[in-house]
Amino acid sequence: MTTTRETLLACLSVPRWADDVLAGQPYAGRDALLRAADAAARELTDEELEQALAGHPRIGERGGAQSRREQSGVVDAAGRLAAGNAVYEERFGRVFLIRAAGRDADEILAELDRRLHNDDRTERAETVSNLREIALLRLEATL
């Protein structure tokens, strides 16, 4: 099984990650490709984290079709999310990122509130983990 660099970068906008996944091709199957993508996304440099976040709209804001589908459960909470995003960005200096797919607005707001109490290192790790989850869901949808 193979994929393309363009497909990978649409899932996670980190060129090193895409290159790492491409380097293992062809894969024996879907699961092998997803495992390689998972492993390559577990550690991101600060620059890679910044690159990846640049491609994500704030939670509750209109992004591309992919983001709108993933955030379909948060439409009614836009005002509360905007306020939470502002507090988060002031606290951590980056956009709040969460795997929204499968979560409703109350769950996302509860996670936002919880994560505001994280220290910088813990929150960075949670952000990377959520980016990885998003990337894998997006990649799986393309296979």
- At position 42, the amino acid (one-letter code) is R
Q: Please give the pLDDT value at position 79.
A: 85
Which pLDDT does position 8 carry in this prediction? Answer: 98
Whether pLDDT at 25 is above 90:
yes
Assess contact for 1 and 26: CB atoms under 8 A: yes
At residue 65, the pLDDT reads 52
What mean pLDDT value characterizes the chain? 90
The model's pTM is 0.85
pLDDT at residue 112, as a whole number: 96
Which pLDDT tens digit goes with each residue over 94-109? 999 999 999 988 999 9
Joined together, the tokens standing for residue 11 give 């899932």
User: For 13-23, what is each residue's pLDDT tens digit?
Assistant: 999 999 999 99
Name the residue among 101, 87, 86, 97 with its Cα closest to residue 140: 101
Q: Tens digits of per-residue pLDDT, 45-103?
A: 999 999 999 978 887 765 555 554 555 455 567 788 989 999 999 999 999 999 999 99
Close Cβ partners of 21 (under 8 Å, ≥ 6 residues apart): 3, 8, 33, 36, 37, 40
DSSP state string for 102-129: T--HHHHHHHHHHHTTS-HHHHHHHHHH
